[in-house]
Amino acid sequence: MILGGGFGGLYLARALDALGVTRSAGVTLVNRAPAFLFLPLLYEILTDEVAAWQIAPSFAEVLPGSCRFVCGEVAGGEFHAGRRAVLVRQADGDLVLEADTVVLALGSVSDDFGLPGVRSHARPFRSLADARALKASLIDAAQRAAAAPGETVSFAIVGAGPSGVELAAVMADRLHAELRRAGLPPARAQLHLIDRLPEILPQYASALRHLARRELARRGVELHLGVGVAGCSAAGVELENGARVAADAIVWTAGSRPAPVLADFPFVRDRRGRIPVGRTLEVPGFPGVYALGDIAASVAAPATAQVAVRQALIVARNIAAALRGEPSREYHYEPLGEMMTLGRGAAAANILGLAFDGIAGYVTRRLVYLLAMPDPWHATKVGLSWLGQSLEEAWQAWSPLSPPATE
């Protein structure tokens, strides 16, 4: 039984199918939503560079036919005296699922660190609904600016890690495009990026940081670094030094914590709420129970999709090995590089120590993500649709018959 159908859970199910495990064992995947979400491309919903169907294929499309899908909310589990039972809440009632082997891959949620006003005045950016709502508020802000001459609209993004930086760049591009459409200059919008650390992207190579800083400056994003956030209010972001960054809307990307439902399982958790696991990703004291991805405190691996997918492959091999009575393999963290969008049609990548941006960064990022999509048939459809979109844009830019571009 796999709990969670994100990068860890879905890729695990596919690997179990590829290893032939599903021929001898029933595999059930439980997830609260009926579709997988390819989070690294969520930003492009704001700029209409990707469509929802491309990054959120349904499990009916990407889960192998040999696996069973249960759509429901995991609400806790009992793991004692050889019984492994998980409670799943569904629209039409509760379900108790039992299995010999259980893998927890429930991911993380936004963390407001208990700061006042964050929950009520700031929004997270982790789901399709979040992305759609943010896009609507950018369009709405430009319309407000057009209706109120002389007034500027302002957005604040808290957290200058990869999510905050990528978001600031795409938000700027969408907002500026909307302002241009209304005949207004980009100066009618202000974007603020706030972080308590003195530098953006502290975990990234300095070359990538430099490229990101350049792109943010080009878009007029104002950086407020080295000062913590004390809270959020209807007026904006309150800083620890007593200053306020005025903002009409605030996006919170400053922290994450493991899925809260882990508190309803009997496992030991670390200070950050994650389940400590050994190198085989098995939960100590619970043979046949594994934890991976954002919820697992394993070797010093960051909470990324890259890590979750590689851990899923190790867990799949270990489950197959356990069924054959063979020894388990160990997970070792190996960073493969970083990639990030830096606005519409722009991206940067750092692969094997080589940093590049521009068209090379954009094409590399798109190709890598296409290859990383969970299902080859889905990836083919997405690739063809991106190709069609690029050809259409090139034709529109070149053809004397096409109407003048609005963006």
Ligand X SMILES: Cc1cc2nc3c(=O)[nH]c(=O)nc-3n(C[C@H](O)[C@H](O)[C@H](O)COP(=O)(O)OP(=O)(O)OC[C@H]3O[C@@H](n4cnc5c(N)ncnc54)[C@H](O)[C@@H]3O)c2cc1C
Residues lying near ligand X in the complex (CB under 6 A) are found at: 4-9, 30-33, 39-40, 42, 73-74, 105-107, 125-126, 163, 259, 261, 293-294, 303-306, 308
> At closest approach, how far in Å is the CB of 398 from ligand X?
32
Cβ pair 1, 30 in contact under 8 A: yes
Q: How far apart, in whole angstroms, are the C-alpha atoms of residue 87 and residue 259?
A: 15
Cβ pair 104, 65 in contact under 8 A: no
Q: Which is nearer to ligand X, 126 or 224 (CB)?
A: 126
Distances in Å between the Cα of 69 and the Cα atoms of 64, 79, 82 are 10, 22, 24
- Give me 278's structure tokens: 């050994």
Cβ pair 341, 361 in contact under 8 A: no
Q: Which is nearer to ligand X, 33 or 85 (CB)?
A: 33
Q: Which is nearer to ligand X, 41 or 194 (CB)?
A: 41
> At closest approach, how far in Å is the CB of 302 from ligand X?
8
For the chain, give the number of residues: 407
> At closest approach, how far in Å is the CB of 10 from ligand X?
8
> By beta-carbon distance, which residue lies closest to ligand X?
6
> At closest approach, how far in Å is the CB of 225 from ligand X?
21
> At closest approach, how far in Å is the CB of 404 from ligand X?
34
Q: How many CA atoms lie within 13 A of 311 on its CB side?
A: 33
> At closest approach, how far in Å is the CB of 257 from ligand X?
12
- φ, ψ of residue 376 to 5 degrees: the values are -60, -35
Q: How far apart, in whole angstroms, are the C-alpha atoms of residue 303 and residue 297?
A: 9
Q: Which is nearer to ligand X, 4 or 236 (CB)?
A: 4
Q: Which is nearer to ligand X, 188 or 378 (CB)?
A: 378
Q: How far apart, in whole angstroms, are the C-alpha atoms of residue 188 and residue 202?
A: 30
Q: Which is nearer to ligand X, 145 or 212 (CB)?
A: 212
* DSSP structural state of residue 250: E
